Amino acid sequence: MLRTGLSWGERVVYWLIILGLVALLFLYRRATLPVAIFVNGNPIAWVSNHRLANRVIELAKKELKERHGEDADFAESVEFGSLPIPSGMTLSSPAEAAKILLAKVTPARWAWSIKVNGKVVAALKSKEEANQALELVKAQFTPANVTLVKPPSFKEKVEVQREKLAATEILADAETAAQKIIGGLEPPQYHIVKAGEVAIRIARRYSLTLQQLQQLNPNKNLDRLKVGDRLLIKRGKPLVTVVCVYQVVNKETVPYKVERRFAPKLPGGALVTQRRGKEGLKEVVFEITAENLLEVQRRVVKEQVLREPVTEVILVGGGLR
């Protein structure tokens, strides 16, 4: 009896052979395709095979490290893969492709970034320098000679993170980073006191009242300015808000009361001071909340009378004139 078709087993073998041939054809085709170097997904050069593509990246990284240090890397994503070469393009040697690659990438290094609300505002080589910069910023906006209730803090979300950044973004030292954060969009303006200058004239020069100048410089005694003193005459717009909660102790006078006593033996309408009043003295402790040295809240946390006031006694005559 003659068979009219293939058996089930023969069909499976037949299709396996076909799939194998297709796979071999695909691999052969892929192996013979040139290899493109990609920067952020865009092809920038072609070499003949994967081995040479690896060599291109090795040469580019070597050059990058020689220029910018051993921890230098590409800021962009650099990959390679098989891709037909467009018409008009030619294959490059590894040295040529490495040169093209270096022209398309930005040198990057691992550094410690300072982020404010998720945005990088400064970067330094070490975590210690980044934290030092933040402490310098806090110190700039912390009043001197006060008792802090708690350490200064930032109103915004401030983080220090290690990440790969463009080499040009990494600052030289903590002081430079601190000044960048303090300066922000607009740096503060200062006046350097010269010989013969007094506070009231300095204030008028910048269209300020003496009270406004004192508010800008709460740690300065405006009555005792010295040559070379630096006075803040206009607040800048820093990238952060330093919140300080501190206490100050003030001595305040306590007004005396006046007591009138009827004196029938004195002529009617006569007023005689029997005892002069004296003001008392009290010590008041204020808790102040300031943001970048600008007071936003003040409350009394303690009062203590140091000297009781003396009531003034006035005798009022009620007798016959």
Provide the 10 A C-beta neighbour count for residue 92: 21
Residue with tokens 């004192």: 214
Closest CA to 141 of 296, 251, 277: 296
Provide the 10 A C-beta neighbour count for residue 120: 15
Question: Among the listed ranges 9-18, 26-35, 75-84, which one has the minimum average pLDDT value?
Answer: 26-35
Q: Do domains 111-234 and 242-319 have the same CATH topology?
A: no
8 Å CB contact between 125 and 131: no
8 Å CB contact between 80 and 36: yes
**pLDDT of residue 25 exceeding 90:** no
pLDDT tens digit sequence for 123-166: 999 999 999 999 999 998 998 888 999 999 999 999 999 998 88
Please state which of the four CATH numbers 3.10.20.340, 3.40.50.2000, 3.10.350.10, 3.20.20.60 is assigned to the domain occupying 111-234.
3.10.350.10
pLDDT tens digit sequence for 160-216: 999 988 888 899 999 999 989 998 877 788 999 999 999 999 999 999 999 889 888
Assign domain 242-319 to its CATH architecture: Single Sheet (2.20)
Handedness of CA 130, 131, 133, 138 (dihedral sign): positive
Domains of the chain, by residue range, sit at: 33-105, 111-234, 242-319
Burial pattern 32-69, b for ≥16 Cβ within 10 A else e, equals ebbbbbbbeeebbbbbbeeebbebbbebbbebbeeebe
Read off the tokens for 3: 């068979």
> What confidence score (pLDDT) does residue 187 get?
78
**Residue 99: CB partners within 8 Å, gap ≥ 6?**
none
**pLDDT of residue 298 exceeding 70:** yes
